[in-house]
Amino acid sequence: MRIWSALVGLFCFFSLTSCTKNEEVTLIRLDQQLFPGKSPDSVRTLLNRNPAVAQLYFNANGAGNDTALVRELTNRVTNPALNELNRQIQAEFGDMADLKSQLADAFTNIKKDFPDFKSPKVVTVVTGFLGPDLVVTDSLIVIGLDYFAGPKAKYHPPAQEFPQYILRRYQKQYIVPAIVFAISDKYNAANRADQTMLADMVYYGKGYVFTKTMLPNINGEPIADSLIIGYTDKQLTQTFNAQDIVWAHFIDNQLLYQTSPAIKQRYLNERPFTAEIGQACPGAIGRWLGWRIVGRYHDEHSSVGISELMRNADARQIFEQSGYKGQKE
């Protein structure tokens, strides 16, 4: 018996994937609990049962004692248009088994490399865009499903607040990559004294490499890079093919060690395109370049595991050892 136990243990050591227990995902559908109750009392009771959600998503201290919030939510769950949107959302997402399974796989992958990770509770809500799209903390994730209902939904996030290049990402396949990228921040070491563009680029690049590493395969295929960074497939292809031009722009304009916040924003913030390079160049191009740098570094240093990569706060070292100079290979 002891010999058999030892063999089993040895097999598990060499087959971590099969012997590692999958992380459990606690998914609470507050969207399905909120709409059946149409009275202030039912709304108040729901908030009181979920004070952490009330605080995190609605910024409500005292949960059900926030009379303005109770009144607003009551008005919304009795609104015929929002009820129609909710029915569309329920049809679009179903029982959410696929999302729960993807999160379980991603959380399991994270746990393998970061043993201190504890799977957060996941809560879904539908409020007619009353709160944010997604909130991620160490212990709680709140998903505003109304944001991710997709292009066929009757209502969408307000266009005056969300430009089209952002709106097109509000589909359910973007949810898990966005959550995993947000989690990466906890493990992404950075030298706060380094305020250069390069430091920010590498920081984003490490986050994208983390996300790509931790996301599960879907139908045997890796999740598309477009779902991680938010570019279209066409933008990714064009940018990859033109990266020598993009890189030359960064070098010619001495951008890597630029510390001006205004200049950094032009290349790191979300924009419809990077005007300084051209209308075909997508916004936040510095983030994409950071991904290329860190990805190449990680490929060239196969002995460096993802946990070691994330602990490395030396952006300049990662850049120099990546050997990246705008090349495609």
pLDDT values of the chain reduced to their tens digit, one per residue, 329 residues: 334 333 334 434 444 444 567 899 999 999 999 999 899 999 999 999 999 999 999 998 877 789 999 999 999 999 999 999 999 999 999 999 999 999 999 999 999 999 999 999 999 999 999 999 999 999 999 999 999 999 989 899 988 889 999 999 999 999 999 999 999 999 999 999 999 999 999 999 999 999 999 999 887 889 999 999 999 999 999 999 999 999 999 999 999 999 999 999 999 999 999 999 999 999 999 999 999 999 999 999 999 999 999 999 999 999 999 999 999 87
Q: Tell me the C-alpha to C-alpha distance, in Å, between residue 188 and each of 37, 59, 126, 192, 265.
A: 42, 27, 31, 12, 20
Are 229 and 125 in contact, with CB atoms under 8 Å apart? Answer: no
pLDDT of residue 13: 41
pLDDT of residue 61: 81
pTM of the model: 0.92
Alpha helices in 35-79 (DSSP H): 40-49, 51-58, 67-77
What span, in angstroms and rounded, lies between the C-alpha atoms of 141 and 27?
A: 10
Helix axes 315-322 and 285-300, enclosed angle (nearest 10): 70
Are 310 and 186 in contact, with CB atoms under 8 Å apart? Answer: no
What span, in angstroms and rounded, lies between the C-alpha atoms of 149 and 167?
A: 11
Helix (H) or strand (E) holding 236: helix 233-241
pLDDT of residue 5: 39
Are 255 and 263 in contact, with CB atoms under 8 Å apart? Answer: yes
The DSSP symbol for 196 reads S
Are 310 and 189 in contact, with CB atoms under 8 Å apart? Answer: yes
What span, in angstroms and rounded, lies between the C-alpha atoms of 205 and 286?
A: 9
Task: Give Cβ neighbours of residue 255 (< 8 Å, ≥ 6 apart).
Answer: 197, 249, 263, 267, 286
Task: Give Cβ neighbours of residue 232 (< 8 Å, ≥ 6 apart).
Answer: 168, 226
Q: Which of 144, 142, 138, 145 is nearest to 183 (CA)?
A: 138
Alpha helices in 78-173 (DSSP H): 80-93, 97-113, 164-167
pLDDT of residue 20: 60
What span, in angstroms and rounded, lies between the C-alpha atoms of 108 and 20?
A: 8
Hey, how many other C-beta atoms are within 10 angstroms of the C-beta on 48? 13
pLDDT of residue 6: 37
Are 156 and 279 in contact, with CB atoms under 8 Å apart? Answer: no
Residue type at 199? A
What span, in angstroms and rounded, lies between the C-alpha atoms of 41 and 48?
A: 10
